[in-house]
Amino acid sequence: MENKWKTGFFLIAGLNLLIVIILLSLIFVPADEKGTIQKTPDEKSVSFQVKSNKADLNVLINQYIQKEAADSPIDYSVQLRDEVELYGTLQFFSQEVDLKLTFVPEALDNGDLVLKQKSISVGSLPLPVSYVLKFINDNYKLPKGVDIQPNNKIIYVNMQQLKLKSDVKIKVNKFDLQKDDIAFTIVVPVE
């Protein structure tokens, strides 16, 4: 009988020791990393998809223009309707003349935006488009990243060069003004 008790005791002690070893190994083995933030060494930014509308973008664009072109001798504003409309005034023989340019926007695959000149009016006088675009380029203070190409009759907006807080970058995904379908990717740098 003594052997059965000894055998039973060692069997239970061994089972307890096995359970303790299993518990300790579970405690000290690193956890599965599914709940941690995964970051690869070459990952330097995170992206967010944003949908917007014309009304909100009108406010944002014109606030940006006011800050970036505050010392420009000519006031101008941009309105998003079914097209992109630029309104401004210019001095002509000590008279202020109204200026309106209308553009058709196109989102490029690289996230930039091209504004193709559609119509122009300076008062009621028709002027060559390339002349007016050159005049705007020479006399209006445009934000960095906005490139007027008078000969091509376009304004190229390099979204990566626009100066935004915290080095945030914006890429245009969709810019359909007639359907009010506007989508961006906001790229935020991370350390």
Q: Give residue-wise pLDDT tens across range 8-54.
A: 777 788 787 888 777 777 777 766 655 555 555 566 888 889 999 99
> Average pLDDT of 104-130?
86
- Pairwise CA distance, residues 162 & 171, whole Å: 10
pLDDT surpasses 70 at 159: yes
Tell whether the model's pLDDT for residue 106 goes beyond 90.
Answer: yes
Question: What per-residue confidence (pLDDT) applies to 35?
Answer: 54
Mean pLDDT of 72-97: 81
- Give me the chain's average pLDDT, please: 81
Q: Can you give the pLDDT at residue 156?
A: 92
Is the model's pLDDT at 72 over the cut of 80? no
What pLDDT was estimated at residue 190?
84
Find tokens 């109204």 and name the residue. 98
What integer pLDDT is reported at residue 177 of this predicted model? Answer: 92
pLDDT at 114 over 90: yes
- d(CA 135, CA 87) in angstroms, rounded, equals 14
At residue 108, the pLDDT reads 92
Measured distance CA(162)–CA(158) in Å, rounded:
7
Predicted pLDDT at 82: 92
Q: Please say if the pLDDT value at position 86 is more than 80.
A: yes
Is residue 126 within 8 Å of residue 119, measured between CB atoms? Answer: no
Say if CB 140 and CB 116 are below 8 A apart: no
Model pLDDT, residue 39: 54
How many angstroms separate the CA atoms of 8 and 53, rounded? 77
List the one residue out of 135, 107, 109 whose CA is nearest residue 120.
Answer: 135
- The whole-number pLDDT of residue 126 equals 66
Quick one: average pLDDT of 170-187?
91
- Residues near 154 by beta carbon (within 8 Å), at least 6 away in sequence: 114, 115, 116, 117, 148
- In this prediction, residue 32 carries a pLDDT of 60
